[in-house]
Structure 1
Amino acid sequence: MSVSRVVELEGHIIDSGMMQACFGIVMDLDGAFDVEEFRVGRSKTEESYCRMTVTAEDPVTLQSIVHELHQHGANPADPQDAHLTPASADRVVPEGFYSTTNHPTEVRFEGEWLPVERIEMDCAVVVHPADEGGDRGAERSALNHAPDGEGPWAETKVLNAIEAGDLVVTGETGIRVHPPERPREKRAFGFMQGGVSAERPSESTISQIAEELRRVKADGGKVLVVAGPAVIHTGAREALARLVREGYVDMLSAGNGFAVHDIERDRYGTSLGMDTETLDHPRKGHKHHIYTISEVIRAGGIPEAVAEGLVDSGVMYECVENDVEFVLAGSIRDDGPLPDTITDAIEAQNALRRQAHEADMVMMLSTLLHSVAVGNCLPSTTRVVCVDINPATVTQLLDRGSAQAVGMVTDVGTFVPTLADYVLAEES
């Protein structure tokens, strides 16, 4: 005997491709659909609506279809409260727990739809029936968009942060996902509009990115830069330092190597042993980064090295001088590392996650691993700029599903100075 479920789609479901994708999912998974109601939005602001019955031969098949539809924004027409199952122990999630996307999500609790705070992909959702006092209350009040009052609330938690007794959402009942939609007006930051191409007019794109960066800062937003050593190697160091100094960077996420070569450039005029201006390799230049690490360790860390005058230029110098938070996440291949580098992987993840949750705009500059790590923590609504000379890197990062992303396949050594010139032009 066949089974069925009624689902609804709302929004700009036609031009975003959402409706077509949902029809395809049903057919690809051996189901059938019957459109019961369909209203087309007839203006740029008017949304469309589709109500359809999905039918399958058995409950298992229907569940798999509904699961895929749910990820694309189709929600049950008869919502029920989400199923909550207590975690049996720390870091142990119940079987069948709901694994999040990076799209804005709500869960239904006691008849009320609760926005899930700090949304990111591949997490569990934990519901708090009411505000707890102490640390938990303080944690909620620290969230960027925490609701007022003392009512119930929901948040994401990575698996290693689950605590015994946490009420974890299981199954997919009582969950609404709001995937990005294609906007009806053309703009630089728009779902499915950024694209990846080395042939786009880069000057025009950089100008639009600069305009968006200025707008974010004017609105009181925070900008996170995720930078790789190539920023130093290609000569973009001074331009990025200018942006930090002038207040256009609020947070920096990088690895041990970025900081080492930035400070090496200050101390010896080289980056990984190469003079970034003449492209010569000075005698013993290959040892400069090791000397740099030793000198910073001797000073006690990067802030201490700046304080004693050991470091007086560059990105890390400007971060210290202008109170810009930086997170240096270590890896197994690091030399040293610097005292400021976080070598515990979980601690580093948590530090990156805090930055990602605070960011309104993220610029990812020629670093695949750190960009993927930060990108996995971002909601799909955060503006993302990804720049790399390798198109595969840009594609991989944009494919994670950001609603507002721009990808540029170009030399970061050209991009950052040009961006700085555009951003700072109006101030001169």
Structure 2
Amino acid sequence: MKFELPKYHHPDFEKDMFKNAPNATLEEVTRDGISPRNYHALSVYPEYFKINGKWVLAAESRMDTVCVADDTPGHERVDIVEFRNLKKGDKVVIGRTEDASEGIYVWTQGFLEEEETQDTFAFRSGRSRETAFSVDYDTLYDVLRHEKANNGYVTLIVGTALALDRDSRLALERLIREGYVQAIFCGTETAAFDLEKGLYNTVWGQKTFEKEQNTTRNLYATINLARKYGSTKALVESGQVKDGFIKACVEMDVPFVLAGTIRDRLGLPETINNVYEAQNVMRTHAKKTSTIIMMSAILFTIATGNMTPSYNVFDNEVRPVYMYTIDIQEFAVNKLADRGTLTAVSIVTNAQDFIRNVDRALNN
């Protein structure tokens, strides 16, 4: 059966509740980075705002943001802005209801058929090690094939576990080279471990459980070598890196975003140590993303999940953003739902096994 994206339908704005609703209240920002009181905080779901009598869809609704409206007649639009990026003169939507009574409407049924309803209760609806994930895997394979065939934008969040195993590294490398990945987010050590393996055939000094195992000697040698060349790209182009997903990213022109942490002792040249700058760069990709897969990196997963909407608008068409979170810990995959990102499909499994399964399904 051919995979098709679910069709989106807007609310019926001919209903009296929408016709009789007031325009959304707008209040100007008086100081950069400070929102007016009673601002409307957005969610991951589609949200509409009544501006000059027109219901306008927010194209990138996401967590921890506010809505800035342009009420110029004939040019009505809304932009989604982080609080720190607010500028004096921006007109922020004011209101704490979501039922159209203040000109604000949150729409959770857009991808359901008109006659469908969502269950309010389901036994064992949470995800655990006992859950069968076969259908989720099959759907994911279909989604990734569809993305590749239709120029989708697939973003991966990669945890360190994937850099520690030979087969998972090579599986991820193949997925990148076969065109299934358009961007990668990870930390410095994940990228450095992958490069260490490509340079020295060790990870954390380990090769075949020899006496040199669990040392950081080759890790730091890898980082220093990249810094000597001036960039990871230059290091890869020197021919010394034999394999790995960072090498594949460089050679396939797939961007990778390395966000630094307070614990980083030494970063690769591309490591972004300013957290706001890292957020901005990650968000440029999240805005374009149509499918996101977050593997064994809980902090990156939560951060990225909260900055990614449950839907996006491509060529004036509203479509879902498919979101998957993968981790061996039930706590990790459920944490995203606890934070409010309710649209992620969680698979409780070893991330190394997961990426190998995806590689086998798509590349064999």
Distance 1:194 1:263, change over 3 A: farther
C-alpha separation between the residues in 2 aligned to 1:205 and 1:114? 33
C-alpha separation between the residues in 1 aligned to 2:188 and 2:295? 15
Distance 1:238 1:254, change over 3 A: same
Say whether residues 1:267 and 2:199 are aligned partners: yes
CA displacement, residues 350-381 of structure 1 (integer Å, 9 cap, x when unaligned): 11111111111000010001111110111123
How much has 1:156 moved relative to structure 2?
0.7
Say whether residues 1:215 and 2:146 are aligned partners: yes
Say whether residues 1:158 and 2:82 are aligned partners: yes
**Higher share in strand:** 1
C-alpha separation between the residues in 2 aligned to 1:180 and 1:418? 32
C-alpha separation between the residues in 1 aligned to 2:133 and 2:25? 49
Distance 1:309 1:252, change over 3 A: same
SS of residue matched to 1:224: strand
Distance 1:256 1:82, change over 3 A: same
| Aligned match for 2:268, one of 333, 338, 345 | 338
Question: Counterpart in 1 of 2:315?
Answer: none
Provide the TM-score with structure 2 as the length reference.
0.84
Question: Counterpart in 2 of 1:105?
Answer: 47
Distance 1:180 1:296, change over 3 A: farther
Letter in 2 for 1:372: I
Alignment of 1:38-187 (within 5 A): 78-130=20-72, 151-172=75-96, 173-179=102-108, 183=112
Alignment of 1:318-397 (within 5 A): 318-381=248-311, 382-397=321-336
Letter in 1 for 2:362: V
- Checking the alignment, whether the CA contact within 8 Å between 2:336 and 2:342 is kept in structure 1 is no
C-alpha separation between the residues in 1 aligned to 2:76 and 2:18? 23
SS of residue matched to 2:79: strand
Gaps of 5+ in 2: 1-8, 97-101, 312-320
Percentage identity across aligned positions?
A: 30
Length, aligned pairs only = 333
CA displacement, residues 183-206 of structure 1 (integer Å, 9 cap, x when unaligned): 579xxxx99898412123445542
How much has 1:177 moved relative to structure 2?
0.6
CA displacement, residues 51-82 of structure 1 (integer Å, 9 cap, x when unaligned): 9xxxxxxxxxxxxxxxxxxxxxxx77831101
C-alpha separation between the residues in 2 aligned to 1:265 and 1:245? 18
Letter in 1 for 2:238: E
Alignment of 1:247-258 (within 5 A): 247-258=179-190
Say whether residues 1:423 and 2:347 are aligned partners: no
SS of residue matched to 1:270: coil
- Checking the alignment, whether the CA contact within 8 Å between 1:260 and 1:292 is kept in structure 2 is yes
How much has 1:95 moved relative to structure 2?
1.2
C-alpha separation between the residues in 1 aligned to 2:91 and 2:108? 25
SS of residue matched to 1:125: strand
C-alpha separation between the residues in 1 aligned to 2:268 and 2:106? 42
Say whether residues 1:199 and 2:130 are aligned partners: yes
Of structures 1 and 2, the one scoring higher in RCO (CA 8 A, sep 6+) is 2
C-alpha separation between the residues in 1 aligned to 2:234 and 2:197? 18
Alignment of 1:231-250 (within 5 A): 231-235=162-166, 236-250=168-182
